[in-house]
Structure 1
């Protein structure tokens, strides 16, 4: 279930971020018994999009992206390779029908994106680091045209941000938080934030929050949801203003808006605690009151780190205060 959720989110994310650079096909079927390709990308330009860091570097040639929520085993990696070679065979047959040769640029490269990867897997497939590429990117022997990206090993830099979004746990949470911060000064990332927020909302509505992996994904997406919820609220306020509120009610509107923001923030805190710890009992309800007394910056930072705190650690944090 979680694998399917991650697949869909990863497909939508890569499609959104790569579409300006070329043609993106998600869930592309291939012949025989091979399953569908997660994302097939064909660039419109051979120039590197430096803004996307190493993801932009990957996207200078035709390529397949296979993102995993949990580390793939050797069978799953061989299945990815089989997809790649099936695509290459189809392209070669098409080129022959058109009486032309298949150029190296047309033959896609495979990028397997995994949250972690063991030394055993890397050694077994002969995957090694390559000069000019960051730690965490391991290339299979040259003629195989494939690489494994261990996202948790990537350095925390601007160049790796757009891949770390597809990681897991703290890696993913910190990356999504950074994208949210970027969107504050650059509206072109707003669509990504809105997509993350919508996914979090759908997860709460349509999934079992008792599933640990679903809980983890909800927590990772929460920074975007917190920001987007405020944006949605502001849209509602603006619509209300445009519907003809009288100027004399300006002060009342302002008070109501402030009260609504506090209520919304409290609801968010209660929701995150319930998702993280299963339910909101008397002890956690007391913590909610104490968290609401923190500054917005302190409260937001605490919520972003919530996935790394146990119940006991959270309770001790406020008892100490």
Structure 2
């Protein structure tokens, strides 16, 4: 996978999850030589009591944080680049404090969380990264204290509810298992809906992209049933909205009919409803679409609404040209 589609998904995903907890900035620029931090997070001074727990990700967000998610295993060069951005942030904060005649305390400096789908033993050893399983469990490796950095090896995280929101950013089987768990959450869970919507957007972006590899194709296949379900829900919602609009217009037409004649008012509102739905589906009304409005007027609202929202242009023209 090229970095961009996943990079954008990861930024949007973390922003949606962390926003209830504090201020979130994506693509924040630092230093004279412009570098971008994927996600910069600052917790709210007074956290809301209505936020949904984010498990291990929520613990990461207990203090100011930089999040740098990677689709493929982060290389030593990429990790050095992340550290460079972190130090630029430190320098910027200290410079601002000096201008304001204040002081930056160590506890106020953000911590860098590098989210990597995998991490080799040699890479972790090269950075002196060590586990702190008593406090953080498996998969979270900390550099020396003054670096204020941790490498999260997502494939090593235990498969628990506590780690779900991080494993969604994993790869291969780890990510697909997390998607299974995400679907199994209660439908009224707002984070479930947001995450699924972002995954569906990622699927669409991947499908129209170039150089799609086998990993991408597997992810597209896994997300296809979710996409179809979302599409069916959207269609059903559109039908219900269409019927509601029609009923509202019908009530207005009946009132108008008291002055102009009931049937004339109803026909006028049916025509307006059909025209509006055609514009929603196809953008503009050309001669071919205008020609099928008249034969559609004889149908009951629930029937023409369903046809207009679910049929293609070609299907509509083929059916009503024969009428």
- The residue correspondences of 1:30-45 to structure 2 (distance < 5 A) are 30-33=30-33, 35-45=35-45
Preserved CA contact (<8 Å) 2:116 2:170: yes
Q: 1:229 to 1:50 in 2, by over 3 A?
A: closer
Q: 1:16 to 1:79 in 2, by over 3 A?
A: same
Deviations 1:16-72 (A, max 9, x none): 110000000000111133521100000014879771000000001111000000001
Counterpart for residue 139 of structure 1: 142
CA distance in 2, matches of 1:104, 1:98: 17
Preserved CA contact (<8 Å) 1:21 1:44: yes
Mind listing any 5+ residue stretches in structure 2 that lack a counterpart? 251-298, 311-323
Counterpart for residue 24 of structure 2: 24
Q: 1:211 to 1:108 in 2, by over 3 A?
A: same
Counterpart for residue 15 of structure 2: 15
Preserved CA contact (<8 Å) 2:243 2:302: no
Deviations 1:182-230 (A, max 9, x none): 25132453222222212212322x2137432432342353354233222
Q: 1:25 to 1:97 in 2, by over 3 A?
A: same
SS in 1 for 2:68: strand
Counterpart for residue 182 of structure 1: 185
Counterpart for residue 294 of structure 1: none
- The residue correspondences of 1:79-228 to structure 2 (distance < 5 A) are 79-130=81-132, 131-204=134-207, 206-208=208-210, 210-228=212-230
- The residue correspondences of 1:226-305 to structure 2 (distance < 5 A) are 226-244=228-246
Larger gyration radius, structure 1 or structure 2: 2
**How many residues are aligned here?**
256
Deviations 1:160-203 (A, max 9, x none): 00000100112112212322332513245322222221221232
Q: Give the alignment's Cα RMSD to 1 decimal.
A: 2.9
Q: 1:209 to 1:232 in 2, by over 3 A?
A: farther
> Taking structure 2 as the reference length, what is the TM-score of the superposition?
0.71
SS in 1 for 2:40: strand
Q: 1:50 to 1:229 in 2, by over 3 A?
A: closer
Mind listing any 5+ residue stretches in structure 1 that lack a counterpart? 261-321
State the 4+ residue runs in structure 1 displaced beyond 3 angstroms: 45-50, 219-224, 243-246, 248-253
SS in 2 for 1:19: helix
SS in 2 for 1:51: coil
Counterpart for residue 70 of structure 2: 68
Preserved CA contact (<8 Å) 2:206 2:212: no
Q: 1:21 to 1:223 in 2, by over 3 A?
A: farther
Preserved CA contact (<8 Å) 1:183 1:190: no
